[in-house]
Structure 1
Amino acid sequence: MTSSHDNQAPHTFNAESQGVTRRRLLSVAGVTAAGLALAACGAPAAAPPGQTGTAGATGAAGGGSGTKVIIGVGGQTLLTYLPTTLADQLGYYKEQGLDVELQDLQGGSKALTAMLGGSTQVTSGYYEHTIQMQAKNQSIKAFADMGLSSGLALVVAPKNEGTIKSIADLKGKNVGVTAPGSSTDMFVKFLLSKNGFQPTDASVSAIGAGSSAVAAVQNNQVDAAVMLEPDISVLAKQLGKPLVILQDVRTADGLKAVFGTDSWPSACLYAKTDWLEKNSDTAGKLAKAIVKTLKFISDHSGQEIADKMPEKFAGGDKAQYAKVIDDLKKTLSKDGAFTEDGVKAVLKTQQVANPEVGNKDIDLSKTYTNDFVKA
């Protein structure tokens, strides 16, 4: 899994390009700073666990008829979780006879905690959490895959653009992540370990997602940060200059360079295994709604998708929002199914980055199922 990219100088990413080149500039034209900053906000950074994202935008989430399901989302405005919200906007949950409430919990680990605590039934989070929980003797299982890549980029804060030029330069630095224990945190630890350092050689700070994450990097509250779209594009526009990016898995090339695989399951729906067993009909309906949404994404342009999303997510610049969707939708699953190679790649990442997983005997067959998406 070692890449020749690891110890080289950072690259810059051109949002117009589908490939990863190490010295290209990220130029995000046409973004209204205030607009997309609002788009990145979604729910306020301090939103309480009970606050929903889409309900505030459309009034559609919750309050309907059918079987009630509360889904905790690990950062609702992040495009990696777009299918979860889009399914609601398209009415696909209601079509399945479900009354779905989406709660924006601003970080994957927070969404996981909410589900384990019983305040939500299902999580729209990253697949790797199922592996982490098995290592802790807690059984949760993913049942609908949405992402073929984590969509992450490790961005250098403006004050350090001349001093942080490689992963090695992160030693002793403070790196922003959505929340400790989230996939953004694991990404930092994986990159450090892969490059011969201890996962703890850099500290991490929770900066959330959306406006709080953008502000933390823009104002140099952290030395670097792991970010996702649309936050990356918002930051580039607000800084008005190219971003220095150490590692980038927003494209297939970048994914291959960092993880050595063509598929790395990321955003998905998962739940406690016993909940799935007791609510298989509900889980099946959720999976059908997500699969139908993934097909909609595959068959429609970024503009058509943006038109269906909550208006505030576009922040007054729907054209730019649509363009970012077009760039990122290439990394989304088309059928909701997990691949064996993909889940093995995620396990390898966890074994390297997460000492709580380490060399523990993990039964991957208990961490995911394709039964619901193929039914």
Structure 2
Amino acid sequence: MRTARKFPAALAAAGLALTTLTACGGGTSGAGAADDANGKIKIMVGGLDKVIYLPARLTQQLGYFEDEGVHVTLLTEPAGVQATTSLVSGDVQGVVGFYDHTLDLQVKGKQVESVVQLAHAPGEVEVVSNKAAGQLTSPKDFKGKKLGVTGLGSSTDFLTKYLAVKNGVQTHEFTPVAVGAGQTFLSALQQGSIQGGMTTDPTVAQILDKNLGKVLLDMRTPEGSQKALGGPYPSSSLYMNTDWVNSHKETVHKLANALVKTLKWMSTHTPEQIAAKMPADYAQGGKKLYAQAIKDTLPMFTEDGVMPADGPATVERVLKAFNPNLKNATVDLKKTYTTEFVKKAG
């Protein structure tokens, strides 16, 4: 890749999947403008090896960021809530994470917007351990259970609470446990420290392959989202501080071009072809299992990066069902996303 010659630091950051917020620096509000002036952008991903965020790394692997003249460093945090913190503190210019954080941040006085909507379904799966399968057959059985989420305040936490409340279980009647994803989630399920939980591929594929549990609720498709949440649930997105977007439109347009080009590429290639472009260490359960994980998750992605028309309203309804910060708050949904850049992408 050209990045290897010209931008070794960026490639190292992405290739090694830096995992600590401290690696980004101390968080100065002026960092974004300075980095952009040098043609370098830092994007924090809420789990770089998760299939739900695959377009971010795939765009880099395909060379589309460089084709647009933007030199992107991809960093990673295990949960979206931590990625959001790095954006608000000014350590990074963008986050690839769930759109629902833009609503949560708005009521806290932070104006953040989705500029590329990568997905129109959550891509999340509620699983249950084999041992607990008899007592945990639907969200109605969440009461008294310990349920895994990537992080407290994360989108998996949000969705778990919504499913509970929707099915008559109050949020204080079960215990969300922050177990991350991948091996930490698998271990928690295997050891019985959680009875079930919400996670994504490739973790889901590994749970089924190792026979550690079974699927309770599948939201990897628009149909699954409709059944569980009552509508499309825009999830994975590139979101950024609105002020930064408005003052760096040319850069945002280039980022949107690259990501939309990737979404279109994904729609015309097989899961095996997509898997072959990704780093080898992402396929921890083997190439075949990783390709299957991609296949199962592909329906969640958009092909054009455009926000689904009724998606924001679904997210608002879901969050207001359990989140006291949003329950009586007025959210200006039009300020939580923009289609300005993806509509011009090409």
Q: TM-score scaled by structure 1?
A: 0.81
Contact kept? 1:158, 1:218, Cα under 8 Å: no
Which one has the bigger helix percentage?
A: 2
Quote the residue 2:218 is aligned against.
Answer: 248
1:146 equivalent to 2:118? Answer: yes
> Aligned AA for 1:231?
T
The residue matched to 1:244 in structure 2 has which SS? strand
Quote the residue 2:233 is aligned against.
Answer: 264
d(CA) in 2 for partners of 1:255, 1:83 = 20
d(CA) in 1 for partners of 2:238, 2:222 = 22
Deviation at 1:316, TM superposition (A): 6.9
d(CA) in 2 for partners of 1:248, 1:353 = 21
d(CA) in 2 for partners of 1:88, 1:45 = 13
d(CA) in 1 for partners of 2:23, 2:162 = 32
The residue matched to 2:127 in structure 1 has which SS? strand
Deviation string, structure 1 residues 131-190 (Cα, Å, up to 9, x no partner)? 001111111011001111111111112331222223232112211100011110011110
Deviation at 1:76, TM superposition (A): 1.0
Task: State the superposition RMSD in angstroms.
Answer: 2.2
Quote the residue 1:373 is aligned against.
Answer: 342
Quote the residue 1:302 is aligned against.
Answer: 271
Deviation string, structure 1 residues 228-256 (Cα, Å, up to 9, x no partner)? 1110111122236xx33332212233212
Q: Percent identity?
A: 35
The residue matched to 1:215 in structure 2 has which SS? helix
d(CA) in 1 for partners of 2:208, 2:288 = 17
Contact kept? 1:51, 1:104, Cα under 8 Å: no
Contact kept? 2:206, 2:285, Cα under 8 Å: no
1:283 equivalent to 2:240? Answer: no
1:74 equivalent to 2:24? Answer: no
CA pair 103-278 structure 1, distance change in 2 beyond 3 A: same
Quote the residue 1:334 is aligned against.
Answer: 303
> Aligned AA for 2:324?
P
> Aligned AA for 1:258?
A
- Higher RCO, 1 vs 2 (CA within 8 Å, ≥6 residues apart): 1
d(CA) in 1 for partners of 2:264, 2:38 = 24
Contact kept? 1:145, 1:267, Cα under 8 Å: yes
Quote the residue 2:175 is aligned against.
Answer: 203
Deviation at 1:44, TM superposition (A): 9.5
Question: Comparing 66-75 with 176-185, which one deviates more in the overlay?
Answer: 66-75
Deviation at 1:310, TM superposition (A): 0.7
Q: TM-score scaled by structure 2?
A: 0.87
Quote the residue 1:57 is aligned against.
Answer: none
Deviation string, structure 1 residues 323-372 (Cα, Å, up to 9, x no partner)? 22122112210000002201111111111132211131111000000001
Task: Summarize the alignment of residues 34-49 of structure 1 with structure 2, pairs less than 5 Å apart.
Answer: 47-49=19-21
> Aligned AA for 1:254?
G
CA pair 121-83 structure 1, distance change in 2 beyond 3 A: same
> Aligned AA for 1:246?
L
Task: Summarize the alignment of residues 152-167 of structure 1 with structure 2, pairs less than 5 Å apart.
Answer: 152-167=124-139
Question: Comparing 151-160 with 130-139, which one deviates more in the overlay?
Answer: 151-160
Instruction: Specify which of 120, 124, 133 is matched with residue 105 of structure 2.
Output: 133
* Unaligned segments of structure 1, at least 5 residues: 1-41, 53-62
Contact kept? 1:218, 1:235, Cα under 8 Å: no
The residue matched to 1:246 in structure 2 has which SS? strand
Contact kept? 2:46, 2:76, Cα under 8 Å: yes
Contact kept? 2:18, 2:75, Cα under 8 Å: no
Contact kept? 2:271, 2:294, Cα under 8 Å: yes
> Aligned AA for 2:226?
K
> Aligned AA for 1:236?
L
Quote the residue 2:63 is aligned against.
Answer: 91
Contact kept? 1:72, 1:111, Cα under 8 Å: yes
Quote the residue 1:293 is aligned against.
Answer: 262
CA pair 84-67 structure 1, distance change in 2 beyond 3 A: same
CA pair 160-260 structure 1, distance change in 2 beyond 3 A: same
